[in-house]
A and B are shown apart, each in its own frame.
Chain A
Amino acid sequence: MYVAVKGGEKAIANAHALLAKEGRGDPNVPAIGQDAVAGQMPVLVSRVMTEGSLYDPKLAARAILQAQGDVLEAVTLVRSYRTTLPRFGYSEPIDTAGLDPQRRVSATFKDIPGGQQLGATFDYTHRLFAEPAGDGPVPGDAGIHHVPMPRVSDLLGSDALLEPDHAADWADPEPADLTREPTVHPMSRAERLQGLARGDEGFLLALGYSTQRGFGNTHPFAGEIRVGEVEIEFDAPDLGFSVPLGRIEVTECQMINQFTGNAHTPAQFTRGYGLVFGRGERKAMSMALVDRALRAGEFQERIVAPAQDEEFVLSHADNVQAAGFVEHLKLPHYVDFQAELHLIRQLQREHHDNAAGSEETNT
């Protein structure tokens, strides 16, 4: 148990000043600006926005600078900031089928309408140190204004080979909001996706990996990955109509998984879904794997692995909670530890006394 301490103000102030000095590095080197971080570290910024659950590249860049590159610290800053702002409302659901992808690949079909478009990717790089490439790509078909890129899941879905988006008798239910209501298990899939979207990338990556290695086998294929800017519209209560707010960049992953069928449903492909802010492909893929694993109950699959256990996954995915509870251990626990120390001493004394007593009886 933690008991509050007082004092140490001067040392704490100095520690923070020292932290700032250490974070500044060599004063002869120009300091990095917020815009430089937002522009040159977009993947890091994306991660902080996704796990901070707040889309704002400028604020995320500022958080990264203040946190000296500590992702979890930056995420915490973003989460704290969001609590200071009023909630205007909810957006219309974003239309990822309508987004004009910068990147769009499918690992299941070679020839998809609209084609495979690599976009800005680390794939196919040699993963060796190299000099940065020059002035961008040589632009392709400049005359082409818009190539429609339908969803890969619609191609399979039309033949009933893939589970549909929703049941025929579907009322488009209002989703619960984890930031507003206490967590109750079991969650709806919508709630789980909200939890996974803000979950730690490393944790979800490890869980997703575990399903591939046999801990809750899901036989996945990356049906489609899309990265691009999508418009968001907000149903403004004061105006009475939907207003466009601008565009946000998102990464979407549709994972397609084998399903052998059961008494009620014939064999078909099932799906896992991942959606994150910015460019976060690894996170989107991991999220889709874990989303599918967590649907085990829905398909009457045996629940044998951690990634299939909703309470385990969702209760430990949030890195702000996890970091807070782990890191609080370093705060002063003097009173608590004194009590433990006292107890151990007493137990040892009793142990010695008992040992001495039994020796006396033996002699």
Chain B
Amino acid sequence: MRVLAHASRPQLERAWAAWDAKPEVEAIRGPEAGLVMVRGRVGAGGDRFNLGEATVTRATVRLHGVPMTADTVGSAYVLGTDLEHAWFAAAFDGLLADEQLRERVLNDVIAPLERGQEHYDNDRRAEARSTKVDFFTVAREHA
């Protein structure tokens, strides 16, 4: 679910287009946009406080038809207001719930997405580390 939530809508859309033998996807709830109040902690470790809201889209779908062993239900919550984004994520979540298809989804969809996200994180981290600085004070430190 974490990998699906982090994947962008175009990534999921491409993965869905590449997925053959698509099951019937029936909307149970949504996709619908709403808000989640983001909380922080006072001083980072103290009482909780309400920082501000974030837009979130959720979808719950029922998958049935040809490739499915049995009907499954998939759910997704993603940041933003792109309804399709949540729909694709929910559809893959439903596929993951199918015992026969789970392995294939993990190998063909989740693993490449995860590798992409790791790659992106490593690049960002390397860029950030390039700005690591060693300050030294001009005053004598061991006077």
Q: Tell me the A residues contacting B by CB distance below 8 Å.
A: 49-50, 53-56, 58-59, 82, 85-94, 96-97, 100-103, 110, 115-121, 136-142, 144-147, 151, 153, 165-166, 172-175, 177-179, 188-191, 193-194, 197-198, 231-232, 234, 236, 238-239, 243-248, 250, 252, 254, 271, 273, 275, 277
Instruction: Write out, one digit per residue, whether chain B residues 113-143 have a CB within 8 A of any chain A CB (1) or not (0).
Output: 0000000011111111111111111000000
Note all chain B residues with C-beta closer than 8 A to A82.
35, 53
**Is B51 an interface position by the 8 A CB rule?**
yes
Contact A194 B47 (CB under 8 A): no
Contact B48 A175 (CB under 8 A): yes
Whole-angstrom CA separation of A147 from B36 in the bound complex: 30
Q: How far is the CB of A215 from chain B (nearest CB, A)?
A: 24
- Among A115, A140, A144, max chain B CB count under 10 A is at A140
Whole-angstrom CA separation of A206 from B114 in the bound complex: 45
Identify which of A138, A153, A246 contacts B130 (C-beta below 8 A): A138
Contact B130 A56 (CB under 8 A): no
Q: A103-B128, A119-B128 are in contact. Are A91 and B81 (CB under 8 A)?
A: no
Contact A172 B48 (CB under 8 A): yes
Contact A191 B132 (CB under 8 A): no
Note all chain A residues with C-beta closer than 8 A to B53.
53-55, 82, 87, 179
**Is B49 an interface position by the 8 A CB rule?**
yes
Contact B50 A179 (CB under 8 A): yes
Contact B39 A97 (CB under 8 A): no
Whole-angstrom CA separation of A85 from B127 in the bound complex: 37
Q: Tell me the B residues contacting A by CB distance below 8 Å.
A: 1-2, 5-6, 32-56, 58, 60, 75, 77-81, 121-137
Contact B79 A271 (CB under 8 A): no
Q: How far is the CB of A37 from chain B (nearest CB, A)?
A: 16
Contact A197 B54 (CB under 8 A): no
Contact A110 B135 (CB under 8 A): yes
Identify which of A91, A121, A136 contacts B39 (C-beta below 8 A): A91
Q: How far is the CB of B124 from chain A (nearest CB, A)?
A: 7
Contact A172 B47 (CB under 8 A): yes
B53, closest chain A residue (CB): A54
Q: How far is the CB of B120 from chain A (nearest CB, A)?
A: 11
A271, closest chain B residue (CB): B43
Contact A248 B49 (CB under 8 A): no
Whole-angstrom CA separation of A102 from B132 in the bound complex: 10
Contact B52 A254 (CB under 8 A): no
Q: How far is the CB of A234 from chain B (nearest CB, A)?
A: 5
Contact B42 A96 (CB under 8 A): no
Contact B52 A50 (CB under 8 A): yes
Identify which of A116, A139, A175, A252 contacts B127 (C-beta below 8 A): A139
Note all chain A residues with C-beta closer than 8 A to B123.
139
Note all chain A residues with C-beta closer than 8 A to B52.
49-50, 53-55, 194, 197-198, 277
Q: How far is the CB of B11 from chain A (nearest CB, A)?
A: 13
Identify which of A53, A254, A277 contacts B43 (C-beta below 8 A): A254
Q: A140-B130, A141-B129, A273-B42 known; 20 other A-B pairs, CB under 8 Å?
A: A49-B52, A50-B52, A90-B37, A90-B50, A93-B39, A93-B48, A94-B38, A116-B134, A117-B131, A118-B133, A137-B130, A139-B127, A144-B125, A165-B43, A166-B45, A189-B47, A232-B79, A234-B56, A246-B5, A275-B51
Note all chain B residues with C-beta closer than 8 A to A238.
60, 75
Contact A275 B40 (CB under 8 A): yes
Contact B49 A190 (CB under 8 A): yes
Q: A234-B36, A246-B5 are in contact. Are A197 and B51 (CB under 8 A)?
A: yes
